[in-house]
Structures are given as structure tokens and as C-alpha cells.
Amino acid sequence: MGHPFPIREIARQAGLSEATVDRVLNGRGGVRESTAQEVRRAIADLDRQRTQVRLVGRTFMVDIVMQAPERFTTAIRAALEAELPSLHPAVLRSRFHFRETGPVGELVRILDRITRRGSQGVILKAPDVPEVTAAVGRVEAAGIPVVTLVTDLPASARRAYVGIDDRAAGATAAYLMGQWLGERPGNILTSLSSGFFRNEEEREMGFRSAMRARHPERTLVEIAEGQGLDATQYDLVRAALERDPDIRAVYSIGGGNIATLKAFDDLGRDCAVFVAHDLDHDNTRLLRAHRLSAVLHHDLRQDVREACHTVMRAHGALPPAGPSLPSAIQVVTPYNMPPQATAV
């Protein structure tokens, strides 16, 4: 396994012992395939990050822990690595712990493992459940600052939250939905990936409150627990459409939009208005094809940069600053897509 990195550096990136890394690199056996994959991922991460930073100055090793669909974690990884040069003269190195779904216990084990082995910070996207809140408390008690990204854990000991005002985003979606549906009849499907993510819960509350105030005649039909994954999302949407022939619009809070539109298509149903979140690869293609009416987006690079700065402030590497303001909510249509999206 060719590479230009010292074993100590690979071990630190992978969160493994130097002896384990040495066994993997030299093919000595006695190592699980999953461990060998962790070593390979660590080398790939080091190689990718090496092209964007000089390994000089003060170094911060930060763990990125996220439960989210692959399309979102890919966007987060790209945003972080694009921001690395802006952090000079400090150097930020990152270990990624991504999963699409799974039991909460797995997230807790990841956080506890980080607590034991050490880190300069954790950037976290996780469900707002007591087990995760308790694990965040243990991470912070070990002197490791935790920053929640795009979805908050307000009852936890986390250092800061970085992201949009989700209630305002939900209300914005309701405003657009009401304007674009106009006097046309029809019910609205609201789709959450999970009721345990605080950001989705806040968006749904903002949407429901604004619709009740401005358009009380509209019926909202909710589906949840599709995890933003196409396979599960399709079945949930199709079942909802078969139960309710009056659904004519969608507010997608949690993703899985390709599957949602396929369910409409397969039943020969029209979706008059479709408002979604996040300008990931899927939504970029759907918006360009005019399958989405609008995407509520925020600058992930700015969010990631602020999260990194928060970690650095916790270690005294930057001067103190006041609380972070919510990220700006951008309403993106097929006609005002940002340059980086049109290049996808």
C-alpha cells in the first residue's frame, strides 16, 4: 500500500494504534478487513488534504460525526476541504465518521471512542435524543469542544450551534407554497427523514404554523422516518398518494426527492409545487430539470468555516466572539442557481 505518510500520522488520522497500522501496511495479517479499510480511508483523506494545506503551524485534529444521506455528507466533506486553505496559518485535519442510518448506540459508541482517544473538536449532526445528549456531555467533560451543525442539540453541553433558523425556513417554505398554489385546490405532503432531528422538527413547526395562519383551508399530510433514503422514501410517498388523491404539492424537509417524484410519476400524478432543502447533487439536477420549484439553501462552506473557527476559539487560537448568527436562507430557483451548482 504505497503512501508518503509516516505511520504515526496515519495512525492518528485513523484513530488506531501504530502497531495496527504497521500490520495493515505490511500485510502481516491478524487485522479485520474493516480495520484495513479504515487505514486505507485515512491514507486517502491525508492525501486529499495534503493537496490543499501545508502541514505547518498549529494543527487541530477534528472529528466530523454525522448521520445523514451520502449526498449530504459528500457535500459537507467537499465544503470542509474547500475551506482548509482559509484556516491558515493553523492547519485543520479531519477524521470522518459518516453513516446514513442505524441505531443510536452506534453514534454513542463513536462519540465515546473519540472521548477516550482524544480530539481537538467534534462537529456533529445527530438525532436529538437523550443518549446522544449524554454522550456529548462526556465529550465536553473531556475538554473536547462540540459544535452541532445544521441540526441542534439544545439540551446538551455542546459549545455552539451553526446553521439556519429552521423555523424561519419552514415559514419561508409555507409562504412560497401559498403564493405558488394560489387558488388551486390540493393538499400538501410534508416529508421528514426522521422526527428525531431537531432541525426537521423546527422546519415542520414553522411550516405548519405559517400555513395555519395564512392558508387554514389547506390540509397537510405528513410522512416521516424515510431517513432521506430513496428506497424507503418511495414506499412512504406512494402509500400516502394512494391514500389521498388530493395531494398536489410537496414540502420536502428531509430529502429523498428523486424517490418522491418517482412515486408521483409512477401513479400518473402531478406535483404542482415542490419546495425542498439543500442544493446537493440530487436537488441541483432536479432543479435544473424544473422538477423542483425552489430549494431553500444555505452556504455550507460558511457554516463549516464557522464551526472550525468555534473549535479554534475554544483552544485560544482565535479571539473570543459573540454567539453565531443564523446562516442566511437562500431561495434558489432554476434561474438563480449559484455558479458552483450550475457546474455540477
Output the 3-class SS for 24-64: HHCCCCCCCHHHHHHHHHHHHHHHHHHCCCCCCCCEEEEEE
Instruction: Check residue 10 and give its pLDDT.
Output: 87
Q: Count Cα neighbours of 27 within 13 Å in the Cβ-side half-sphere.
A: 2
Q: Count Cα neighbours of 94 within 13 Å in the Cβ-side half-sphere.
A: 28
Low-confidence ranges of the chain (pLDDT < 50): 52-56, 342-344
At residue 304, the 3 state secondary structure works out as helix
Chain segment 213-258, per-residue pLDDT in tens: 999 999 999 999 888 888 899 999 999 999 999 999 999 999 999 9
Instruction: Check residue 2 and give its pLDDT.
Output: 59
Note the pTM of the prediction, 2 decimals: 0.80
What is the average pLDDT value for the chain, to the nearest integer? 91
At residue 250, the 3 state secondary structure works out as strand
What helix, strand, coil percent values describe the chain, rounded to 5?
A: 45, 15, 35
Instruction: Check residue 54 and give its pLDDT.
Output: 46
Chain segment 153-194, per-residue pLDDT in tens: 999 999 999 999 999 999 999 999 999 999 999 999 999 998
